[in-house]
């Protein structure tokens, strides 16, 4: 009975998120259009430097788009609950928090994959990029492995709107921007100042970008990318329980302090 209730809850959470996408579909189109234009603009920067630069930059833009969507959807989940006026009902519902947040993460992966696929198709058509030499299977598996780590980071970020209803949502973008800075999305991490390079070592996005570029630009196999994938999985195994633990601490604090309210 307990398992059946949890399964119904998982379906309900994923279905609700897709219903929200349909409700705000016009905004989804606007954000998708902006993401496409952003990827094309970044790719055009590399035109004067040759096809390899275009591929390097566009792959970085595509991967960062996927990872940022994943991070945003998980990190902003509390803000969405407050905006919709359902936060009290959701957090008081008789379901495990892992069920609630876990399937929000599943939705984010599905949603991010669809968006990235659309942007990839437009970018490939715009620049005339051939994907014949790319190992799409390896690239997809890299994204799956990296999703675990970013889900953990998203869970940590999701606690910020609980702690500060007024400013918590904005604070999640600080963490996202820091990851963008140190992970080599549009440049090699070798150009970073010496004091920033240690942060690139602990950022899962660094390994995601390195492995995905190798798969898409060099056609490297899953076996060859095994060490990077294992590293991403290990980071995810560490960050997901840590993120859930931090979120639970924040939730208990929010309940005690009265911050778990629709109006913040």
| pLDDT confidence tier of residue 91, bands split at 50, 70 and 90 | low
Q: Shortest CA distance to 183 belongs to which of 196, 173, 164?
A: 196
What share of residues in the chain are helix, strand, coil (percent, to 5)? Answer: 80, 0, 20
Residue 8 is predicted with a pLDDT of: 61
Between 30 and 73, name the one with better pLDDT: 30
The CA distance from 121 to 90, in Å, is 37
Residue 264 is predicted with a pLDDT of: 46
Instruction: Judge whether 155 and 243 are in contact, CB under 8 Å.
Output: yes
The CA distance from 122 to 36, in Å, is 7
The CA distance from 134 to 221, in Å, is 10
Q: What is the mean pLDDT of the chain?
A: 79
Query: Minimum mean pLDDT among 16-30, 37-51, 68-82, 120-134: which range?
Result: 68-82
Residue 37 is predicted with a pLDDT of: 92
Residue 32 is predicted with a pLDDT of: 87
The CA distance from 246 to 253, in Å, is 11
Task: Write the CB contacts of 129 (distance below 8 Å, at least 6 apart in sequence).
Answer: 54, 55, 58, 123
Percent of the chain exceeding pLDDT 90 equals 2
Q: pLDDT (tens digit, 9 = 90+) per residue, 117-176?
A: 888 888 888 888 777 777 888 888 888 888 888 888 888 887 777 777 666 667 777 888
Q: Shortest CA distance to 112 belongs to which of 154, 84, 81?
A: 154
Query: Minimum mean pLDDT among 25-29, 80-84, 249-253: which range?
Result: 80-84
Q: pLDDT (tens digit, 9 = 90+) per residue, 192-231?
A: 998 988 889 888 889 888 888 888 888 888 888 888 888 8
DSSP for 81-142, written as a single string: HHHHT-HHHHHHSSS-HHHHHHHHHHHHHHHHHHHHHHHHHHHHHHHT---TT--HHHHHHH
Helix axes 77-84, 136-163, angle to 10 degrees: 60
Q: pLDDT (tens digit, 9 = 90+) per residue, 225-255?
A: 888 888 899 998 998 889 888 888 887 877 7
């Amino acid at each position: 009975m307990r398992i059946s209730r949890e399964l119904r809850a998982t379906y309900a959470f994923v279905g609700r998120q897709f219903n929200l996408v349909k409700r705000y579909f016009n905004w989804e189109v606007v954000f998708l259009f902006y993401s496409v234009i952003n990827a094309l603009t970044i790719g055009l920067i590399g035109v004067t430097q040759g096809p390899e630069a275009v591929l390097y930059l566009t792959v970085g833009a595509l991967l960062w788009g996927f990872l940022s969507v994943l991070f945003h959807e998980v990190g902003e989940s509390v803000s969405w609950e407050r905006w919709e006026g359902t936060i009290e009902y959701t957090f008081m519902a008789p379901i495990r928090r892992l069920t609630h947040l876990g399937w929000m993460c599943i939705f984010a992966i599905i949603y991010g994959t669809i968006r990235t696929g659309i942007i990839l198709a437009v970018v490939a058509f715009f620049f005339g990029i051939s994907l014949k030499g790319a190992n799409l299977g390896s690239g997809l598996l890299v994204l799956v492995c990296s999703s675990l780590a970013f889900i953990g980071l998203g869970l940590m970020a999701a606690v910020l709107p609980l702690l500060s209803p007024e400013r918590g949502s904005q604070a999640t973008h600080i963490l996202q921007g820091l990851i963008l800075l140190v992970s080599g999305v549009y440049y090699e991490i070798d150009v970073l100042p010496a004091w920033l390079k240690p942060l690139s070592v602990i950022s899962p996005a660094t390994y995601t970008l390195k492995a995905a570029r190798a798969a898409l630009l060099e056609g490297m196999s899953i076996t060859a990318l095994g060490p990077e994938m294992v590293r991403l999985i290990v980071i995810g195994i560490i960050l997901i329980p840590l993120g859930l633990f931090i979120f639970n601490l924040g939730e208990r604090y929010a309940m005690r302090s009265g911050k778990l309210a629709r109006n913040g």
